[in-house]
Amino acid sequence: MARGSCHCGQQQLANGNCPACREDGLVLQCIGPWSCEKHHYLRAYVEATWAVRQKFAKAGTGFVDVFAGPGRSKRTDNGEIVDGSSLIALKHARAPFTSVVLGEQDPDNLLALSARTLQFGPRVHIEPGDSIANIERLAQRLPPQGLNLGLVDPFGPQGLRWNVVAALAALRRMDLIIHFPTVGSRRNFRTVDFDAMVGTPDWRKHPGPLLQQLVSALKSSLERVGYPRTEIRDVPVRNNQRAVLYHLVFAARHPLGDKIWKSIIKIEASGQRGFGF
């Protein structure tokens, strides 16, 4: 099943990888420039929270990427090879995460991910298999009394499931960055289980068009598991025509996390000023 086109002209595979491009013999995932926006915000948040994380050195600090992919990606617009979320987290050196938990199901991605993270030693824990089914096992790898950051970045709307978010939210100190697949949800609205996606069948009661209802319902579900509504925000990520492709939903239980997030989203990856939603 083909998807979009890679920079090399080949059609992407169903898992998003290029069938031709390799780096040291390892697969690469094709991403559009808009995907680098979430990498920009993730990197900025990891860097900006180093001092807070340093205070939890004894209790431990964790990062979990539920859908890690092969670890490295190739941009479809200019062919640049860039780090994925897992390597962004692992390469942070000022206050390194003591436990980095990576979930992945695809065999080619697993092979590439294992090779690319080998240098980081025993603090890397790769959980093979269906991350939705295995989410409890991923969560158990994180320091229960430590400071944690979770990234839920599904390949499409079928990958965003509330049970995944809820399992991570069960940890006492867990900041969350959730990729809400706006375009995919709109295109597949007849087949996606939105109840399971946002954690409630009551999303229809929220005001506005479909996507506004869903994002609002997801925020309500996050509030229900202990995230103050004032510390739940979403950033619309747009393409070159300024059409919204997806939302990044951020949730923190501590006001400091929200303060830091608001400061970093003022500047987009392009250098333009954002909106600070």
pLDDT in tens, 64-92: 999 999 999 999 889 999 999 999 999 99
Asked if pLDDT for residue 273 goes beyond 80, the answer is no
Instruction: Flag whether 124 is in a domain.
Output: yes
Helix axes 35-48, 255-264, angle to 10 degrees: 130
Is the separation of the CB atoms in 82 and 72 below 8 Å? yes
**Residue 170 lies inside a defined structural domain of this protein:** yes
In a domain, 120, yes or no: yes
The CATH number given to whatever domain includes residue 48 is 3.40.50.150
Instruction: Give the percent of the chain with pLDDT over 70.
Output: 95
234-238-239 Cα angle (round to 5): 165
Q: What average pLDDT does range 191-208 have in this prediction?
A: 95
SS3 12: coil
Residue at 25 is within a domain: no
* pLDDT (tens digit per residue) in 164-177: 999 999 999 999 99
Residue 37 lies in a domain: yes
Domain-located, residue 219: yes
Q: What is the mean pLDDT of the chain?
A: 92
pLDDT at 202 over 90: yes
**21 lies in a domain?**
no
Looking at per-residue pLDDT, the higher value among 118 and 190 belongs to 118
Report yes or no: 70 and 27 within 8 Å, Cβ to Cβ: yes
Question: What's the average model confidence in pLDDT over 28-41?
Answer: 90
Q: Tell me the β-bridge partners of 152.
A: 178
Task: Measure the CA–CA gap between 217 and 111, rounded to whole angstroms.
Answer: 37
Q: What is the three-class DSSP state of 271?
A: coil
Residue 208, domain extent:
31-264
How many domains is the chain built from?
1
Q: Is the pTM of this model over 0.95?
A: no
The answer to whether residue 2 is domain-embedded is: no
Please tell me the total number of residues recorded for the chain in this structure: 277
Q: Does the pLDDT value for residue 276 go beyond 50?
A: no
Q: Please, which residues bridge with residue 63 across strands?
A: 100, 149
pLDDT surpasses 80 at 271: no
